[in-house]
Amino acid sequence: MTLVLERPAAARTRPRRVVIGFAVAVALLVLSIIASLVVGSREIALGTVFDALINPDRARTDHAVILDLRIPRTVVGMLAGLALGLAGALMQGVTRNPLADPGLLGVNAGASLFVVAGIAWFGVTSSLGYVWFAFAGAAVAATIVYLIGSLGREGATPVKLALAGTALTAAFTSLITIVLLADTGAFDRYRFWAAGSLVARDLDAALPLVPFILAGAILAIVAARMLNALALGDDLARGLGQNLITARIICLGAIVLLCGSATAMAGPIVFVGLAVPHIARWITGPDYRLIIAFSALFGPTLLVAADVLGRVIARPGEIEAGLVVAFLGAPVLIALVRRVKLAGL
């Protein structure tokens, strides 16, 4: 008599669901890119878009709009969305907190504070000038949070990191308000950047950030297996031979690179890092190797699609992508809070 053991139905269907989900994610990303190039206050036919890409002629108005306005903002949206999606997945993994996003550990607040300082005290006005201030602020915030969270015999636990990040965000936000109230000119320049807009972002400011985003993405891939171990708890992770300090330093390094780049390019956009990992987890399950991969697809899709939606609902004007994402993300946050509450967490 031969005993045949069958895998549970969920285990059998998971690979198929991942493959289908990957195909859908790629299709949605392509559609959002096409829509970003076609849709706007000036409707441009798809054939004209392809013609502008293959045979560019800036003497033609439609070609100039595509080449000088829509391609740059689409590229910036893709890069910022990629960075925020990966950063959100890393934060939720390293803190083991399903409500974590790039603002939880104070990284966005640190980047914003240093950008405000650059605007108010050093006269920085360009996106390229924001970059180094954003990196410095993100690095300082991440370092402070990690040092505070490491105090005590338990070391850097997820709860202490989250509490330290929340406290630091409140402190930095107060400092930002103080600086802006003292300098009305800085406030006028800051408010457009802080809205989280893809408008007037050029490739000269975005392309130098690609190596930093690439480095952050590589660190995220390296950290994926470590996050699978951390998800089991610190004691089990240590038992499996995982160095917790190394894992968290790699994750924090990736978060600084990704959040600093995204904040410098598009401003402090919220909810992308919160929602995207949950969408990915619904398809992939708890494996962070797959969550990281799907977050890299859904992040750009969400931000670019939000930018397109902002152009459609406020014609002939438009609403900044960061505001659209925040509006769409509020119901997601409420649903997640209810889900966590019902789960008894």
- Predicted confidence at residue 5, as pLDDT, reads 43
- Predicted confidence at residue 6, as pLDDT, reads 44
Angle at which helices 244-266 and 127-149 cross, to 10°? 150
- Predicted confidence at residue 338, as pLDDT, reads 67
Instruction: Measure the CA–CA gap between 135 and 232, rounded to whole angstroms.
Output: 31
Question: What is the maximal distance between C-alpha atoms in the chain?
Answer: 84
- Measure CA of the first residue to CA of the last residue in the chain; give whole Å: 46
- Predicted confidence at residue 17, as pLDDT, reads 87
- Predicted confidence at residue 277, as pLDDT, reads 92
Ranges of the chain with pLDDT below 70: 1-13, 126-128, 155-158, 192-197, 200-201, 332-333, 336-345
The 10s digit of each residue's pLDDT in 270-292 is: 788 888 998 899 899 889 999 99
Query: Residues, the chain, total?
Result: 345
Residue 95 and residue 252 in contact, taking contact as beta carbons nearer than 8 Å: no
Q: Is the dihedral of CA 256, 259, 262, 267 positive or negative?
A: negative
How many other CB atoms are found less than 10 A from the CB of residue 159?
Answer: 12
Answer whether the bond into residue 15 is a cis peptide, omega within 30°: no
- Predicted confidence at residue 26, as pLDDT, reads 96
Instruction: Measure the CA–CA gap between 207 and 17, rounded to whole angstroms.
Output: 35
Contacts 24+ apart (CB under 8 A), 244-249: 244/155, 244/156, 245/155, 245/156, 247/94, 247/223, 248/94, 248/146, 248/156, 249/146
* CATH number at 79-276: 1.10.3470.10
